[in-house]
Chains A and B, each alone.
Chain A
Amino acid sequence: MKLARDPSELDVMVMPNLYGDIVSDLCAGLIGGLGLTSSGNIGQGVAVFEAVHGSAPDIAGKNLANPTALLLSALMMLDKMNMEAKATMIRNAVFDVYRDGKHITGDVGGKATCTDFVSAIIDKLE
């Protein structure tokens, strides 16, 4: 209920498996969906970073996918590998592109292709 009413009070949450499944999806819903949510599975000696959205067979291979989820997960990976500076740089570039709103993909209301979106991010980095 707290998440649905006023999530601003919450910061980091820890919980068992099932609740984590439910709460993480609920939080993804609050911020715009699974297309923008990053995740990493951390173990001892190994970590797997992945996007939590589905395989979207209907848009596969058409250059329409939004790579944000996987990209943000990859930045989490850089953070873990002690490359926070680079991660922050790329993260800021991504947020700038979203703020401009000119080169965002269809799932978030724009018209850009996947490659357009990535080019825009690279432009920001340069």
Chain B
Amino acid sequence: LCVCVCTIFANLSTMLKKFINSKNLGFLPKYNFGTYAEGRHKGAIHVPIAINPGVGSNRHVTCIPGTGIGPEITDSVKKILSAAHCPIIFDDINDFKMDSIHDPSFQNTVRKNEVIMLGMLQDRDGDKYVDHFKVYQELGCFADLFYAKTLPGVNTRHKNVDIVVIRENTEGEFSGVEHEVYPGVVESIKIITREASRKIAEYTFEFAYLSGRKKVTAVHKANIMKLCDGLFLEECRKVAEQYPFIKYEEIIIDNCCMQIVKNPWQFDVMVMPNLYGSIVGHAVAGICGGAGVACGANIGENHVIFEQGTRIAGKDIEGKSIANPTAMILSSIMMLKHMDLPKFAFDIERALEKTYQDGKVKTMDLGGSSSLEQFTEEVIANLSKI
């Protein structure tokens, strides 16, 4: 009886595979199991991924569209992921409020899934100024991985820039500790801890090692803030010693900004405390084409939040469907790779590449005249042409 049952199941699964491969079913992709390949050519050796059983079933990702251009760009990503047949179901939190971050009911919704896709969070009138950064702290997302690269067909002064900025996400100048010592005299306290510096340094070198990147540059102002940034550098140096095959350099923040606009190709992976991360990230985004092309992921032990690299709200273009969803799309590709869904990440990457290489459809921030919808439609159309 057992042998019979097993044979029946084996036959069924073969039949199912043949069925899936032979028909382009509405809800299942025409999927050649494990044959996607980057730069596949005749004679390439490409070993398939031995996936775990059950990983193809639908996964849940929390989606917080937020405010500003957040809803439009997350919508765009959802459409593209759906067109690519990604096994992802989005659990939307449409009424996310900063104050609710401590609410038990929100704990269940926000903390339910490991992966969170975030459009944009903004301070509202009456919020204390650092409140929206508390989300990253609350969810333990201590590393902000920001990535920008010159995209094909985008007119920039510098070509072939490819930089990862890893920004400490929980402390530094964003600790929110300020007080008026005396009327008209305000103190702002920048907190740098050994623990957080060590964690971010370790994450940076781990990332560089596993991504095959060759150099890590620590950005600081330790000539002035000798104890603060000095402590940060101390921890970076300790970790650097454990990775002798990765080149480690240090650069002062002001010279760093100058070098980014003069000679950005000297940088590969960069690590730095909170404020410098924001500044350097924006400068790198600027030389690559702007806020529309930089993606970001906030990584912690239990959660990862994927968002636009520059966290731009786009208040002036909100609701007009002219925002560039590329940043969010790139972030979603990072998300798919993070979730071990490389085939879909690859497909969307190639579709986005083709859209940029064709150059017919470009959003306004990059000198084109297409709307967000037109751009999304073009990427979806290209999904079937790659």
Contact = CB atoms under 8 A, between A and B. Distances in A.
Interface in A24-46: 24-26, 28-30, 33-34
Contact of A5 (B253, B257, B260, B290): B290
B285 A30 contact: no
A22 B253 contact: yes
B221 A26 contact: no
B254 A4 contact: no
A1 B262 contact: no
B310 interface: yes
Contacts of A5: 286-287, 289-290
B255 A4 contact: no
A28 B3 CA distance: 78
A87 B308 CA distance: 48
B283 interface: yes
B261 A30 contact: yes
Contacts of A30: 261
B261 A26 contact: yes
Contact of B290 (A1, A26, A29, A33): A1
Given A18-B221, A22-B253, A1 B283 contact: yes
B198 interface: no
Given A1-B291, A1-B310, A22-B254, A29 B282 contact: no
Q: Chain A binding site: helix, strand, loop or mixed by DSSP?
A: helix
B356 to A, nearest CB: 18
Contact of A29 (B253, B262, B285): B262
B178 to A, nearest CB: 14
A26 B290 CA distance: 16
A29 B260 contact: yes
B258 interface: yes
Contacts of A23: 257
A21 to B, nearest CB: 5
A2 B286 contact: yes
Given A22-B254, A24-B254, A25-B255, A1 B286 contact: yes
A61 to B, nearest CB: 25
Contacts of B257: 22-23, 25-26, 29
Interface string B256-268: 0111111000000
B279 interface: yes
Interface in A1-17: 1-5
Given A18-B221, A22-B253, A22-B279, A3 B286 contact: yes
Interface of A: 1-5, 18, 21-26, 28-30, 33-34
Ranked nearest first, the 7 interchain pairs of A and B with the lowest CB-CB distance are: A4-B286, A29-B258, A25-B254, A1-B286, A26-B257, A1-B282, A29-B261
27 contacts: A1-B283, A1-B285, A1-B290, A1-B291, A1-B310, A2-B286, A3-B261, A4-B261, A4-B282, A4-B284, A4-B285, A4-B287, A5-B286, A18-B221, A21-B221, A21-B254, A22-B257, A22-B279, A23-B257, A25-B258, A26-B257, A26-B261, A26-B283, A28-B258, A33-B258, A33-B262, A34-B258
